[in-house]
Structure 1
């Protein structure tokens, strides 16, 4: 019985509020402004894409014939590049912004992310996530090394734009 009376009173209150045009408009404007603020808070201020530092594969392409692509790490130069990138990123985003990092499951990408994050305090980094959707396209390690070197030499002789393999 008490529940029925409570629901009836609630319905009467809602009907009274809806009959009050000014009050209804005021409530709607508050809801809309809250929704706009929430939507703006959920969007990043900017998106910055960063490539991994120099990898062992960049230094010597023959390594792809002995080590799986996902297991190739950074060189010392690549580690320095990642640290430098972290310092530059820290200057770029300033004091009031936070950082959310996504990296591919490749070792060189994860190492780059970790070295970049060293430049930031724990409070600045909201989230660090591995995301397989942003990984490189893998063609496999089924290339004959001698043929690959010939192909690269031909491409350089003809020109990267015009060469078709």
Structure 2
């Protein structure tokens, strides 16, 4: 599997590109919520919050860190033995501890459940930074996904709308110069939102629609007042072009890791576009579980990204 080749001398490609599906939402548990709550305002369940913190642990484990004992401690702190997350297996991936991952950029869908998932992930990152570097991170400096009304509030207030970064928590005296402190940035991007299924959805009618889609095909079936997966493909293409342009800009600081916190169908369409799958190949894969992670790793030998996660397929 390969991706478009970029000139090595002019390109800052991240070591990893990671896709994360949001944790379990109220809609995943009870479809009747779609009858009266806008899709973009559906929150996580309690289990979804647990999954968001667990995927934060899983994400730390694939990064190049200097203290994995702390990750073990955090996993014990956030352990959820009664409702474990279904993890997707990794194949051919091993951490490369030659260079620590110091900069992570998160893109998030503006839906409530994805922002809340990102909040759980970043709480884990903040805890790791605080324990490893000794720099206390105040609550008001942490990422807050939902503020007053329906709009997000971002810290610090001088940042552009829909943008957050934790660089202001750095110690100006360099106390943690010898200890890893993971810098991260967050950007809202509506292009990585959920596939539009229409507005308020009646459960009985949607059950009939889903049966029709399974016969017609998941990729080309367009929902009334909504989108087909083929429409999502167009949004994916636009977003990937944005990534490529950034990789080619030598005046920007390189990103070690890029993470998309998004939705199940978007994950599959993203991979389809990146690896040039046919629509038949797309149809062969099912949604990944809530709170799961898909890892793409850059191979310097082949000058291309390789999919390290084994995806579930229809039986």
- Structure 2 length-normalised TM: 0.36
3-state DSSP of counterpart to 1:108:
helix
Deviation at 1:151, TM superposition (A): 5.2
Deviation at 1:150, TM superposition (A): 5.1
Deviation at 1:163, TM superposition (A): 6.4
The whole-number CA distance in structure 1 between the counterparts of 2:195 and 2:209 is: 20
Larger proportion of strand? 2
Structure 1 residues 64 and 84: alpha-carbon distance in aligned structure 2, compared to 1, 3 A threshold:
same
Aligned mate of 2:203, from 145, 155, 163 = 145
3-state DSSP of counterpart to 1:100:
strand
Aligned length: 123
The whole-number CA distance in structure 1 between the counterparts of 2:202 and 2:46 is: 28
Aligned mate of 1:115, from 120, 130, 149 = 120
Structure number with greater CO (CA < 8 Å, separation at least 6) is 2
3-state DSSP of counterpart to 1:43:
coil
List, as ranges, runs of 4+ consecutive aligned residues in structure 1 with deviation greater than 6 Å: none
Deviation at 1:161, TM superposition (A): 4.3
Deviation at 1:148, TM superposition (A): 2.9
3-state DSSP of counterpart to 1:79:
helix
- Structure 1 length-normalised TM: 0.65
The whole-number CA distance in structure 2 between the counterparts of 1:43 and 1:163 is: 38
Structure 1: gaps (5+ residues): 1-34
Deviation at 1:94, TM superposition (A): 2.2
Q: Is the 8 A contact 2:38 2:200 kept in 1?
A: no
Structure 2: gaps (5+ residues): 1-7, 66-99, 130-165, 167-180, 222-315
Q: Write the deviation string for residues 33-74 of structure 1: whole angstroms up to 9, x where unpaired.
A: xx82xx35x221110000000000000011001100000010
Larger proportion of helix? 1
Deviation at 1:132, TM superposition (A): 0.8
Deviation at 1:118, TM superposition (A): 1.5
Q: Which residue of 2 aligns with 1:49?
A: 19
3-state DSSP of counterpart to 1:118:
helix
Deviation at 1:125, TM superposition (A): 3.1
Structure 1 residues 110 and 143: alpha-carbon distance in aligned structure 2, compared to 1, 3 A threshold:
closer
Q: Is the 8 A contact 2:34 2:201 kept in 1?
A: no
The whole-number CA distance in structure 2 between the counterparts of 1:144 and 1:102 is: 31
3-state DSSP of counterpart to 2:184:
strand
Q: Is the 8 A contact 2:34 2:200 kept in 1?
A: no
Structure 1 residues 117 and 60: alpha-carbon distance in aligned structure 2, compared to 1, 3 A threshold:
same
Q: Is the 8 A contact 2:104 2:185 kept in 1?
A: yes
Aligned mate of 2:111, from 96, 106, 109 = 106
